[in-house]
Amino acid sequence: MKTVLKQAEEKMQKSIESLEHNFTSIRAGRADPRVLDKIKADYWGAPTPIQNMASVTVSEGRTLVIQPFDKSSLKNIEKAIQASDLGINPTNDGNVIRLAFPQPTAERRKEICKNVKKYGEEAKVAVRNIRRETVDKFKAMKKSGELTEDDQKEAEKKAQKLTDKYCESIDKAVADKEKEIMSI
């Protein structure tokens, strides 16, 4: 019973980590090097993450400066950023690429908050699915005689408590991200 609950908790924790990773790709008006995590540029014929090809730094809060280790990859990095869904035009001065993040409008911030809520809801669904799978395992364990009915009920209560705890964490993470977005 404890191992099943432990596995469920690990899976729920991974759902939270996935949610936080999704939040990093959301542009909130501040320059954050993690927005480039999903973008890969062609480097000697292989798609390579930009962080592996260049140093990425934040300057002046709203500008990312990308300085390639190999100047010949400058054009490829620029093309990859333009082809991505980032929505920002890179400025190439021959040595570095600059990405200026504009201040989001109130309408754009509300739209971003909707995406944050959507990610939060997807994480909650994942946590609830984990609870359902865990409860099904407990029912199977009772059927096979590994658990008594009382033990099954107790295990299901523990699974529900875990679910509530992680759903609360998700709600808090969503609220914090919305607060961050709206305070810009």
Residue 28 has pLDDT above 80, yes or no: no
- Residue 33 pLDDT: 85
- Residue 171 pLDDT: 96
3-state SS assignment for residue 95:
coil
Q: Name the pLDDT band for 8 (thresholds 50, 70, 90).
A: very high
Angle at 70 between CA 66 and CA 73, to 5 degrees: 70
Residue 184 has pLDDT above 70, yes or no: no
Using one digit for the tens of pLDDT, what is the confidence trace for 103-133?
A: 888 888 888 899 899 999 999 999 999 999 9
| Residue 62 to residue 184: CA distance in whole angstroms | 11
Query: What's the rounded mean pLDDT across residues 142-162?
Result: 93
- Residue 175 pLDDT: 95
Give the start-to-end residue ranges of the domains of the chain: 2-25+105-182, 33-100
pTM above 0.75, yes or no: no
CATH class of 2-25+105-182: mainly alpha
Specify the pairing of strand 40-43 against strand 46-49. Answer: antiparallel
Residue 152 has pLDDT above 70, yes or no: yes
Query: What's the rounded mean pLDDT across residues 21-33?
Result: 75
Torsion of CA 21, 23, 26, 27, to 10 degrees: -110
CATH class of 33-100: alpha beta
Q: Name the pLDDT band for 16 (thresholds 50, 70, 90).
A: very high
| H helix or E strand, kind and range, residue 65 | strand 63-68
- Residue 98 pLDDT: 93
Residue 34 has pLDDT above 90, yes or no: no
Mean pLDDT of the chain: 89
